[in-house]
Structure 1
Amino acid sequence: MDVEHRHGGNRASIATRLGCRPSDLLDASASLVPWTPRLPRLSRSIIRDYPDRSHNLLRCDLARLHGVPCELLLAGNGAAELFTWAARDAASSGPSLVPSPGFADYSRALGCWDGPWVRHQLPLSWSADRPQPIPQTPEAEVLWICNPHNPTGQLWSRASLEPLLRRFRLVICDEAFLPLVPDGEHQSLIPLVAETGNLVVIRSLTKLYGIAGLRLGYAVAQPERLQRWAQWRDPWPVNGIAMAVGQHVLSSTRRHQRWCRKTQAWAAREGAWMQQQLAVLPGITPMPSAVNYLLIRANRSLLPLREALEQHHRILLRDCRSFEGLGENWLRIGLQSRRNNRRIVSAMRKELSRTPLG
């Protein structure tokens, strides 16, 4: 599989291959909100001075948002950097259990430390109100879980996840997309961190605010763990511009909550609309999703459809071959504005009329 399709959001490299500008491409391969906030005016000192290595102001904003002490928070260069340090802890705690299909960055991070891991295949059928149960196996001591799950969009309740904290030595919960789910915060494990030494929750601000280019995420865990990570990492993992934007969008709890409500309403509205539109396309089955992306499957390869959308319509969908346990019969679609969602459905309908799947 070529590098540019191992992850979504590769507009620049695909534009080069197609001989067009990145702005000509509608990128539904990455799962970001379709708008970004008004960004602050940057002072010269933000660019000239070294960033605050403690990220103190940003941590205080996050602590206020989640109602936890600042000591439980650590900012990172996107969630990906924090997965690397979580994996170092995981590698020393025993074999990891990584549900499949799942985000490839977990195994990438474990590979940095030669961390052993076992994969457990989730059944590839689920309903909106009854997600598949989290697997438990005696072979593993560490659990990596993504809630809502990437790429399936299944949402697990906090009540269903809490018993796993007693089963595993370490639980690493990726909640990158949870703020985009209506009432999703009620299922977050963050309130359990203060009293749970074997729990790490990792969040991303880039999906919620559409600022993936800045790379900004954070971990919530007990202070001793985060202090250890801080000693391992580079001196300035989060740049001053990313910190300034993070502090800006989080400076008002009321404004942040208003943003979340707007985002959640969009995800619920457009998700339902896309489900209805895709369900009537010949040969396509859309799967239930609680969040701002959804999987579609077919009984034969969807790679020709994905390639036709790229070449003829300048639309990018997520190639699912990078998700272990899926394959070329699956594609993931990141929700867009209604206008762009119509564009995606119209292009798919046109290509399916030319080359039917059935």
Structure 2
Amino acid sequence: MLHGHGDDAYLYKHAIKANFSTNIWYGGKSENLNTFIKDNLDKIYAYPEAAAESLNDLIALDQNVSSDQVLTCNGATEAFYLIAQAYHSKTSIIITPTFAEYEDACMVNKHQLNFINWSNLQSTTLFAEGLVWLCNPNNPDGRVVEKTFLETLLKNNPKSTFVIDEAYIDFTDAISSAIDLIDKYPNLILVKSLTKNFSIPGLRLGYLISNKVMVQNIRFFKPPWTVNSIAIEVGKYILQRKQSFLPPVKQYKSDRKEFAEKLAQIPALKIWPSETSYFLIELEKSSASELKNYLISEFGLLIRDASNFRGLNEKFIRVATLTKEKNQLLIDALTQWSKLN
């Protein structure tokens, strides 16, 4: 059930000069990693580890938890589906607008769905039993929830299980991971990505962390071999050199600030605040789909039509910060578009 995602460049015949639709760290491509992958291609001729055990152990070491608190997955999305499956036919509350796959995973597994807009979420909000899905930092708007806020929610809702998606935690310095709350609150599941921050989305790597009992219950539903041999080796390679692969957050956010300020000078654009490298833009004229088609056909620039995020409408796009040169391409194109509208 694909409700639509960013980076749909494969759908277009036009050459893409700059892809603002995907919120992946743009500077993470590594020639050393390319060489490493080539040197390990022979691993495809044997079955991978059934549960990515060696990578699982390394993730546990990196996050300072035990191996049986970690479940390595084929991207964070597999983790969402496994969690929803473990809670089949239960109730889920999703804080919106947010990543569509939470809703998809819940619908497939026959959850009773309820939605709360981010603007209505308070630290004192009380939930019924079931799952609460919260993206922190949030996709698509880059807003964050402080750890004290989250801890109050966990404390006040012991019968609710909170699925906190930290896929973009390395894209902000406004908050830190809630990993230190794992052993304190049995109603917490953290989901993390190894693809967005390390720029390897095509390899599909992610994991979840929780208490041992929770992880064991979710692991029951996981098929073997969902993480392939190359992905396992790449995951280990990157984690052993983690600091050299992570995005430079302060510079990244500084570039985003400059990018957003220049875009804000263009008439008919409202820039939404963000604590990450990506942000929402609300259009006063035209629609997201019209603008997306215009930018592709006239300039070879791809943006994210954000109208299909629950809680948003046809006036919203999302863009990610790229290099200053590529950012300028979008600034120039939107300036020209604004003059035509």
TM-score, scaled relative to structure 2: 0.91
**Displacement, 1:346?**
1.0
1:66-215 to 2 correspondences below 5 Å:
66-91=63-88, 94-123=90-119, 133=122, 136-139=125-128, 141-166=130-155, 167=157, 168-182=159-173, 184=175, 186=176, 188-215=177-204
AA matched with 2:259:
M
Q: Distance in 2 between matches of 1:301 and 1:161?
A: 38
Question: Residues 140 and 169 from structure 1, CA distance in 2 versus in 1: closer, same or farther, beyond 3 angstroms?
Answer: closer
Instruction: Confirm or deny: 8 A CA contact 2:168 2:196 kept in the other structure.
Output: yes
Q: Which shifted more, 42-51 or 68-77?
A: 42-51
Count of equivalent residues: 333
Q: What one-letter code is carried by the residue in structure 2 that aligns with 1:6?
A: G
**Matches of 1:229 and 1:48 in 2, distance apart?**
29
The gaps in structure 1 that reach 5 residues or longer are 125-131
- 1:142–1:171: 8 Å Cα contact kept in structure 2? yes
User: Structure 2 matches for 1:1-358, cutoff 5 A?
Assistant: 6-13=4-11, 15=12, 19-21=13-15, 24-35=16-27, 36-37=29-30, 38-39=32-33, 40=36, 41-91=38-88, 94-123=90-119, 133=122, 136-139=125-128, 141-166=130-155, 167=157, 168-182=159-173, 184=175, 186=176, 188-252=177-241, 256-260=242-246, 262-303=247-288, 304-355=290-341
Deviant stretches of 4+, over 4 Å: 137-140
User: What displacement does 1:345 show?
Assistant: 0.9
Partner SS for 1:321: coil
Change (3 A) 1:218 1:59: same
Secondary structure of the corresponding residue to residue 39 of structure 2: coil
SS in 2 for 1:162: helix
Q: Shift of residue 310 of structure 1?
A: 1.2
Q: Secondary structure at the match of 1:328?
A: coil
Change (3 A) 1:42 1:222: farther
State the superposition RMSD in angstroms: 2.1
1:198-219 CA-to-partner distances (Å, cap 9, x unmatched) read: 1110001111011111111011
User: Which segment is superposed worse, 160-169 or 149-158?
Assistant: 160-169
How far apart are the structure 2 equivalents of 1:308 and 1:287? 22
169-178 or 217-226, which deviates more: 217-226
Q: 1:273 to 1:135 in 2, by over 3 A?
A: farther
The structural deviation recorded for 1:269 is: 1.7
Preserved CA contact (<8 Å) 2:17 2:301: yes
* SS of structure 2 residue aligned to 1:58: helix
Cα separation, 1, equivalents of 2:237 and 2:70: 18
Cα distance 1:278–1:52, how it changes in 2: closer, same or farther (>3 A)?
same
| Structure 1 residues 138 and 198: alpha-carbon distance in aligned structure 2, compared to 1, 3 A threshold | closer
Q: Structure 1 residues 138, 211: closer, same or farther in 2, change over 3 A?
A: closer
How far the C-alpha of 1:54 sits from its partner, in A, is 3.0
Unmatched runs of 5 consecutive residues or more in structure 2: none
Amino acid at match of 1:347: A
SS state at 2:49 partner:
coil
Over the matched positions of the two proteins, sequence identity in percent amounts to: 26
Q: 1:281 to 1:133 in 2, by over 3 A?
A: farther
Greater Cα shift, 37-46 or 305-314: 37-46
* CA pair 138-245 structure 1, distance change in 2 beyond 3 A: closer
Alpha-carbon shift at residue 172 of structure 1 (Å): 0.3
Q: Deviations over 1:197-249 (max 9, x none)?
A: 21110001111011111111011112222223333122111011111111110
Deviation at 1:32, TM superposition (A): 0.5
C-alpha distance 134-77 of structure 1, shift in aligned 2 (>3 A): farther
Deviates more, 1:190-199 or 1:316-325: 190-199
Tell me which residue corresponds to 1:128: none
Query: By how many angstroms is 1:298 displaced?
Result: 2.6
- Checking the alignment, whether the CA contact within 8 Å between 1:295 and 1:331 is kept in structure 2 is yes
